[in-house]
Structure 1
Amino acid sequence: MKLLLVSGPGEARNAFLRELTSFADVEVECVAHPDEIESVLTNESVSGILFNIATMVREKNYNKRRIIEFTEMYPVVRLRYNLQAGTVHVLHYDQIVEREDTLRRFVLEECASFTARPLRQRERVRAYFHVFVYTDSELGNEAGERACTLNLSGLGCYIVTCVEHSVGQIVWLKFMDHPDVPAISSKVVWRKPWGEGVGLPGLGLMFLNLKPEQTELVETLIKSSASYRQK
C-alpha cells in the first residue's frame, strides 16, 4: 500500500513516518509543499493522503480548491505532532480523536479498502445531477436509492449519499432526467461514511463497460457542466 504524506522535512515528518511504519507495511511518498501533490498523484497510485496541519498553515500560497477536490477523491486525514509529548494526533474536521489506534484504523480500514489509482487523466468536472442507485439492474425508479452526483468524468463519478455500500460492490446508476438511457453498471471503489473524514459522505464509482448511448450521455453531461461553470 502506498500513501502520500504532505509534510515539510523535520521532526514531525519523522514522527509520522515512524508511526505509519510501526503497524503497516506501507510505502510513504513525502512532499514538502501542497502544490507538489498533483505531480505525484498524476503518476502514482496512492491509497490515501495525510496532511501535516503545520505545513498547510505555514504554506499559505497553494490552490485550496484543488485540495478540497482531492478530499473528494481519496481517503484524507490531517495530522498534528505534539513535540513535547512526542505524540501524533489525527484530526477529522476540527475535532481531535484521542483514541490511540485512530491512525491505525485510518490506514488499515479506510486506506486498505480504497482502490489505489493515479489521478484521473480524463476531464473531471463538478457536476450536480439527480440519480437513482440500484443494487439490482432490473429494479424500477421507485426502488432506487436517491442520490446526487458531485463530480463526473468519463471513468466514473462521486455521488453524495448516506446509504452504506461495500467497496467492490456493483451498483447501477440511472440519471433521473434521462430515463431512456439504461442504468450504468458501476463498481464502488471507495466510500466516505457519514461523520468521518473531511467532505461530503458518499461513494466513488467507476463505470463498467459503458454502452455507446451511456458514453454519449456521460460526455454530454460533462460538456454541459463544464460550459455552465465557465459562464
Structure 2
Amino acid sequence: MPDTNILLVVKGEDARSAYEEALCRIGVGYEVASSFGEALKLSIERAFSGVVIDILTLVRSDKDEKLIAYDCINLYPSIRVKWDGRKKEINLSLLEQSFVSDSEASLRYFVEHRCRNFPPRSLRKYHRTTICLSVYLCVAETFSEKESAKSFTVNLSRGGAFVHTTVPLAKGETVWLSFPGFDDPAPIRCRVCWSIPWGSGRSIPGVGVCFESLSETQSAEVAELSRG
C-alpha cells in the first residue's frame, strides 16, 4: 500500500515501538508524532489516509491539543489503541473492542479497508475553535434564504469552517454561507475542501470549506470568534 500513509500519535517509547512493529507487519507507510501539536504540523505539510491514536497520549493532552485530536478524528479514519506493557500487547478502546476482540487483526482491517480507500488529506494551517454558529448554506450563486439550508458550524478558523450538512457536496464545489448573527451577514463565497457523508462511521456529517470572499468586517468577526 505505497499510497497509504498513516499518522501515528504516541508519546511513550515502548508503545511507539509496539505500534510501529504492528504497522510494519501490515506493510503500510506511517509517520510518528509524539504530541497532537506535532501531529498538526505534520498533517499540514503532508497528506494522510488515517490516524492511529495512543489512548494514553490523548488522555494526557491539554485542552488545545484535544481540539487538534478532535479535528483529526473528524477528518480522518481513526482508531484508538493502548499498549499494555505488562502483557506486551496492543489493546483497543472499549468502543472498538465491542466489534473485534483481536487487536492486531482489527488494526490490519482498519488500515486495509478504511484507510486504503480514503483519499489522502491534509489538515488546514489555521487553528480551528469548536464553536456553534447559525448559518445559511446555499449552493446557488443567486443566494436567498429560501434556497438555503439552515445549519450550524462545528468549528471555525480564520481560513474556513466545518459546517454540518447532509447535502452531498464534492471537493472543489462552490457554496455560499451567510451568518445571520454577524454584523455583515452578506453571503460568503466558499470552496468545499473535503466532506464527510451522512452515515460515514461515527463522524459528524458535513463539509470543510475555505472562505474565498470575506469582507473586512467579516474577517475581523471570524478572527475574533476563532480565538475562542
TM-score after normalising by structure 1:
0.69
What percent of counterpart residues are identical? 17
- Identify the residue that residue 220 of structure 2 maps to in structure 1: 219
Q: Could you tell me which of 6, 30, 33 is aligned with 2:32?
A: 30
Shift in Å at residue 64 of structure 1? 5.4
Shift in Å at residue 157 of structure 1? 0.8
Q: How does 1:1-231 map to 2 (within 5 A)?
A: 2-7=5-10, 8-19=15-26, 21=28, 27-34=29-36, 36-41=38-43, 44-52=45-53, 55-57=54-56, 60-63=59-62, 66-72=65-71, 74-80=75-81, 94-95=95-96, 101-110=109-118, 112=119, 115-117=121-123, 119-121=124-126, 124-178=128-182, 181-197=185-201, 199-208=203-212, 210-211=213-214, 213=215, 215-224=216-225, 226=227, 229=228
- Judge conservation of contact 1:172–1:185 (CA < 8 Å) in 2: yes
Residues 140-189 of structure 1 deviation map (CA, whole Å, 9 limit, x = unaligned): 21121221112222211111223332233222212223596442222221
The residue matched to 1:9 in structure 2 has which SS? helix
Cα RMSD after superposing both structures: 3.7
How many corresponding residue pairs? 208
Shift in Å at residue 206 of structure 1? 1.3
Between stretches 182-191 and 216-225, larger displacement belongs to 216-225
- Tell me the distance in 2 between the aligned counterparts of 1:201 and 1:80: 24
Shift in Å at residue 190 of structure 1? 1.7
Residues 124-146 of structure 1 deviation map (CA, whole Å, 9 limit, x = unaligned): 43332211111111142112122
- Tell me the distance in 1 between the aligned counterparts of 2:144 and 2:154: 23
Question: Which amino acid counterpart does residue 201 of structure 1 have in structure 2?
Answer: P
The residue matched to 2:152 in structure 1 has which SS? strand
- Tell me the distance in 2 between the aligned counterparts of 1:89 and 1:104: 19
- Judge conservation of contact 1:76–1:198 (CA < 8 Å) in 2: no
Unaligned 5+ residue runs, structure 1? 22-26
Q: 1:38 to 1:101 in 2, by over 3 A?
A: closer
- Tell me the distance in 1 between the aligned counterparts of 2:92 and 2:112: 10
